[in-house]
Structure 1
Amino acid sequence: MRLDINWKSIDLNLLVAFSALFETQSVSAAAKQLHVSQSAMSHSLARLRVLLDDPLFERHGHTMLPTERALSLASTVESILDKVTGELLSPKVFLPKDYKGVCRIGLTDYAEFIFSPLLFDDISQQAPHCQISFVNVNRSNYVRLVEEQKLDVVIGSFPDLDARFQSEHLYDEEHVCLFDSNVFGKVKQLSLEQYLSIDHALVSPGGELVTGIDKHLEQMDESRQVRVAAGNFLTIRQLLCQRKLLAIVPKRMAQIEGFDDQLVMAKSPIDVNDFAISLIWPSRQHTRDKNIWLRELVKEEIK
């Protein structure tokens, strides 16, 4: 233990106050959450500011937004509190059948479309009293949403994870061409010439009109005509119906049944890189019983 620190100024309750302020972004709401007066919460914030030498939370309208320093500390504070509650205070054994809280699962558009019904059924069967929140995430916002929404796990394709997360590979997804058989006929295989002559639709959450496929074609001295991009698969599926358009989509999405259309899939005439689907979770929750149970449930359903 470092003896050069003034430990008398450090109070575990200050970390609890920090966590509540970070979650609610409101002094009054944080006070209500912790069952203390608003003045007591304001006093805790003042002590935190002195202790950490930073404003931590600054008022913008009716919201107390975290500073860069607060954002960088949030995961550390949560980790400390989780260790105290999970390892020091001997929590009750987690029993899914008795759990009455919330399972919060982040999914990319792709993963939400495919897996949310299956996960809902499995969780409901094992934990019939819990609520389930599916939160749409992507590569640019998942870190922030894990903190803001208190997500238990996240499913999708997320390269370059940092130390705040742990992960497990679920499977590799391949791509296929999807198009309307009423427009193109019963085509089982598209030639490269056909592929390049047809207008393309892209599933593009960020609205980009260029993907790795276009870069690959450029290396072949070829190009395709991208006509439209949309943020989710259902929109693209609607666009393909009765139009001379094709889309490169994940095979599992193309295979989903229950649509009243004549869309069919065919192998792509060019190589399209597979992408890995992973299950990720906050490192601080790695040993928590609820998180372990939820991870095992996801892996059993998806792998």
Structure 2
Amino acid sequence: MTVDLNLVVALGALLDERNVSRAAVKIGRSQPATSSALARLREIFNDPLLVRDGRGYRLTPRAEELRPHVARAIAALTATFKTPSDFDPVTSDMVVRIAASDYLAVVLMPQLISDLVRLAPGIDLRVVAADRRSAITLLREGKVDLSLAVTEQEAPDVLSLPLFDEEFVMVTRPGHPYHSGPSTPERFVEHPGLLVSQAGDGTGIADECLAQLGLKRRVAVTVAHFLLAPRLLANSDHVLVIGRRVAEAAGKEQGLCVEALPFTMPAFTARMFWHTSTTNYAPLVWFRKLIASTAVSCC
């Protein structure tokens, strides 16, 4: 059976107003058109729906039965065709799915969650791990709404916004033998490296930069998590190269030494990615603005 949505709206008004003239005014239609709608509805339901009661009308038992169902149907239709400007983060109860690298989750999530609790307490987050290889793929497969990653990967159906720039620093334990002499690339490679690599690679950007100087270090340990890496330095002579924000936080918490590298490494840019299909979707427009402002406040 094909449902005429105009009849649903007319039925809701008739059941609420119990009067053809008032129902017509409520839905912005003429009285004859509303009378025709009532006739059609009586035919569909095989029930008079409205019957004379003195100078007015009353609902039949079947009409009373229909009232809550029609009200829910109209509410669902209204929500379906709600305009973007109607989005209110305070009352929203949606779920937002984010793919984030370990590093960006550490930097951004504490402040983002604090902002959400204050501005949109009903929005829930689902954060999954991503690296520079999977950040775009997860978006294109529709598995997440946003990706936070450090990658130059491009796709015609994915847009991005830079969040902040970050430089690399070196992290060691206090009393590390490196600090007993001059800070040079040659002395840097004398000590075993600790590398964060989600793929388990034995070389990183630091190793590529050292190779340009004709130098090579031993990468003694690789781990997949940025939070774990600094904790492995306390009782070893390993040297960790990591972004400044996480390094400084770990340095304060664990009493580690954070200082500039003795060779040049390019900075990296943290970016937010989203699929073009969600560009104008009001809830995610608001959420992207929230992440951008969070990046400014905490970075």
Q: Would you say same fold, with TM above 0.5?
A: yes
Alignment of 1:184-203 (within 5 A): 184=177, 190-203=183-196
Contact 1:157 1:278 in 2 (8 A): yes
Instruction: Give the 3 Å change call, closer, same or farther, for CA 128–86 of structure 1 in structure 2.
Output: closer
SS at match of 2:290: helix
Deviating above 6 A after TM superposition, structure 1's stretches of 4 or more consecutive aligned residues are: 85-89, 185-189
Matched pairs, number: 219
CA distance in 1, matches of 2:206, 2:284: 37
Is the counterpart of residue 108 in structure 1 residue 76 in structure 2? Answer: no
TM-score, structure 1 as length reference: 0.66
CA distance in 1, matches of 2:198, 2:268: 16
Q: Give the corresponding residue for 1:140.
A: 133
Instruction: Give the 3 Å change call, closer, same or farther, for CA 195–210 of structure 1 in structure 2.
Output: same
Q: Give the corresponding residue for 2:264.
A: 271
CA distance in 1, matches of 2:88, 2:179: 52
Q: CA RMSD in A?
A: 2.6
> Could you tell me which of 282, 285, 290 is aligned with 1:289?
282
Shift of 1:182: 3.9
SS at match of 2:87: coil
CA distance in 2, matches of 1:94, 1:138: 31
CA distance in 1, matches of 2:221, 2:248: 22
Is the counterpart of residue 234 in structure 1 residue 227 in structure 2? Answer: yes
> Could you tell me which of 123, 135, 141 is aligned with 2:116?
123
Q: Give the corresponding residue for 1:209.
A: 202
Letter in structure 2 aligned against 1:251: R
CA distance in 2, matches of 1:189, 1:106: 41
Letter in structure 1 aligned against 2:205: G
Instruction: Give the 3 Å change call, closer, same or farther, for CA 189–128 of structure 1 in structure 2.
Output: farther
Contact 1:200 1:228 in 2 (8 A): yes
Letter in structure 1 aligned against 2:94: G
Shift of 1:285: 0.5
Contact 2:165 2:268 in 1 (8 A): yes
Instruction: Give the 3 Å change call, closer, same or farther, for CA 167–218 of structure 1 in structure 2.
Output: same
Instruction: Give the 3 Å change call, closer, same or farther, for CA 126–95 of structure 1 in structure 2.
Output: same
Shift of 1:89: 7.0
Contact 1:285 1:291 in 2 (8 A): yes
Q: Give the corresponding residue for 2:160.
A: 167
CA distance in 2, matches of 1:153, 1:189: 44
Letter in structure 2 aligned against 1:264: C
Shift of 1:108: 0.6
Contact 2:165 2:267 in 1 (8 A): yes
Alignment of 1:26-175 (within 5 A): 90=83, 93-146=86-139, 150-175=143-168
> What stretches of structure 1 of length at least 5 have no aligned partner?
1-84
1:243-300 deviation per Cα after TM superposition (whole angstroms, max 9, x unaligned): 1111110001101158652211110001111111111111100011111101111111
Q: Give the corresponding residue for 1:43.
A: none
Q: Which has the larger radius of gyration?
A: 2
CA distance in 2, matches of 1:218, 1:247: 17
SS at match of 1:197: coil
Shift of 1:195: 0.7
